[in-house]
Amino acid sequence: MGDLSASTVIATAEETTDLRDFGGDEWREALEVLTDSLNTEAGLTEFGEVVAHADLVGSLARRLQIVDYRRTHPEVAEGRIERPIFIVGQVRTGTTILFELLAQDPDARAPLTWEVDAPCPPPEAATHDDDPRIEDSRQIQEMMTSIIPDLKAMHPIGPLLAQECVRITAMDLRSFIFPTIYYVPTYARWLLETDMASAYQWHRGFLQHLQSTIPVNRWVLKSPGHIWALDAMMKQYPDARLIQTHRDPLRTIASVSSLACTLRTFAAEQTPIEEVAREWAEYVIDGIDRSIDARESGIVPASQVVDVQYQAFAADPIATVAAAYDQLGLAFTAEAESRMRRFLDTQPAHEHGGHHYTFAQTGLDERELRERTSRYQDFFGVPNEPLG
């Protein structure tokens, strides 16, 4: 069984890497809260304890390796990151396919899954397409999908696909990836109230690490987790340009509840979707309310953000992307459009590759949630969708 005490996780990461310098201590409180929550709330199976232990050790091991690389390559810290594009829509609002489309632009770069899985040493241009770490990453994902066969139908998986920022901030132990794959409500509540500055400082350092060997014209980044931390994100990246995707929040709640319910079976027994939905409804509503607050307060300047309605994007992705480029002052080149169209041609015609869910399965009160989400729908002009 995996020992989920914070001290054992730290010791294992140090032993695995033979390194000791974590580049600061901000992550320690997060690890303590997370391991306590995993031990007392998550209901992990014996296999789940091993999985969670390896998950946390891996996050800290990657952190140790990146800090050590920067110690021997101090020039990495001089790398400039200018006007990155962040996709900050809520969970299950079309962010993934939009992310992949923007990443097709030859002028853009997104962190790839294999680069986040094994970032040290940073990738080299000459071997970027055949680095042996790609196959290592593929094997890890095949193992996951063999245990959770429904996963591929719910979310695209592959070592060469763009990876979300929640995997990057996980190296600071401040990430909504953990409440997604484990039932850790105490940690989630702590995460919603904690200062996320160190997570975004780490995030910038990670991007500098990747671009130290392959120069980047424009970073394209994505994570639903950003919506809960827009203030910290904008303080670290004041010149960032944002695309916020919008969808009927009740559809969002139903979809993410189904996803989290499935993901958690990797480490715990099946939880009734009604319980997961009650939990995630609170997270989603908190996030969309924060996004309004960020607009009204000026944390997110109107000139730096584009709003994309899910239904319009689903109806014509290329036209939606072209309009977003225009609003952001970017050139939508013929090559970018061609690559995006080729990518779309390879995708399943149905949403999320066949992910089927209904709001009725959540057991939530539709009228109550309509009232609680009306501020968001009115502010951003988000229409209701059939709930099924």
Span 7-38, pLDDT tens digits: 999 999 999 999 999 999 999 999 999 999 99
163 touches 110 (CB < 8 A):
yes
pTM higher than the cut 0.85: yes
Residue among 310, 307, 282, 300 at smallest CA distance from 373: 282
**Spans in the chain with pLDDT lower than 70:** 1-2, 148, 150-155, 348-356, 388
Q: For residue 25, what are the contacts with CB-CB under 8 A and spacing of at least 6?
A: none
pLDDT at 152: 61
pLDDT at 355: 54
Q: Which region, left, alpha or beta, applies to residue 184 given φ > 0 means left and ψ of -120 to 50 means alpha?
A: beta
Residue 268, strand partner residues: 44
Residue among 222, 273, 199, 252 at smallest CA distance from 387: 252
Distance in angstroms (rounded) separating the CA atoms of residues 132 and 127: 9
What letter represents residue 380's amino acid? F
pLDDT at 356: 65
What letter represents residue 150's amino acid? D
* Per-residue tokens: 80: 């400039």
pLDDT at 30: 98
Phi, psi of 162 (to 5 degrees): -65, 140
Note the pLDDT tens digit of each residue in 293-313.
999 999 999 999 999 999 999
